[in-house]
Amino acid sequence: MRILITAGPTREYLDDVRFLSNASSGKMGYAIASAALAAGHQVVLVSGPVALVPPTGCEYYAVETTAEMHAACQRLFPECDGVIGAAAVCDYRPRERWQGKRTKTGQPVVLEFVETEDILAALGRDKGPRWVLGFALESQNARANAVRKLASKHCDAIVLNSPQAIGSESNRVEVIDSRGETAAVWETSKPEIARLLIDWIGQQFR
């Protein structure tokens, strides 16, 4: 299969030097890319800014903002069999970006934020015969929120994990299938979870 994988964080700039982002290391997405390559799949990796080297053999696209990741995925997805959305995408961006570097004034600053593009939902709406697998990082009402995202983003499966996964070498995940039922629960290293997930995808969607 030819698999599109998103990984890492995105950034949304307040001015020319300051931005909103998150602590995602990209390790899970890159591990999935490596596992997919090892299993004989073609990999198209779209990554936000991370301190990782792309796996040898993948087709690699570096992006920074959510809009850039969205545009890359919209362009690349039609030529793929499915997508794994492992990126930690910023949900909001400033309505207006200041030009240059904003200096201190001694007064409070009020920022207005708007939602960014929902990349996985957009891909899910137009997936046609392709499959869509998302990641849901949740801290409250975790499983209920993951199942809601499964439906709202038109996913064929979703992987639930927690904030403890950010930056860590291991993870605990629950794979939830299209019926909202638990297909697997794994607690091990990220590379091993990636291998298990690619095997499961191969069985489900080939």
pLDDT higher than threshold 90 for residue 139: no
- At residue 82, the 3 state secondary structure works out as strand
The residues, ordered by sequence, that sit 6+ positions from 152 with a Cβ below 8 Å of its Cβ are 121
Task: Tell me the pTM.
Answer: 0.93
Residue 164: its pLDDT value, please? 76
pLDDT higher than threshold 90 for residue 189: yes
Residue 4: its pLDDT value, please? 98
Q: What is the DSSP letter of 79?
A: G
- Minimum mean pLDDT among 122-131, 157-166, 180-189: which range? 157-166
pLDDT higher than threshold 90 for residue 7: yes
The residues, ordered by sequence, that sit 6+ positions from 111 with a Cβ below 8 Å of its Cβ are 14, 94
Residue 96: its pLDDT value, please? 92
CA angle (150 as vertex; 25, 182 as ends), nearest 5:
90
**72-129: per-residue pLDDT in tens?**
999 999 999 999 999 999 999 999 998 999 888 889 988 999 999 999 999 999 999 9
Q: How does 45-72 read in b/e, with b if 16+ C-beta sit within 10 Å?
A: bbbbbbebebbeebeebebbbbebbbeb
What's the mean pLDDT in 26-39? 97
Q: Where do the structural domains in the chain lie, given as residue ranges? A: 2-97+112-205
22, 141, 145, 161: which is the annotated catalytic residue? Answer: 22
- At residue 151, the 3 state secondary structure works out as helix
- At residue 181, the 3 state secondary structure works out as coil
| CATH entry 3.40.50.10300 includes domain 2-97+112-205 | yes
Distance CA 180, CA 36 (A): 25
The structure tokens listed for 155 are 């996913």
Q: To the nearest 5 percent, what fractions of the chain are helix, strand and coil? A: 30, 30, 40
145 tagged catalytic: no
What's the mean pLDDT in 198-202? 97
The structure tokens listed for 158 are 């979703």
Distance CA 42, CA 154 (A): 23
Residue 171: its pLDDT value, please? 85
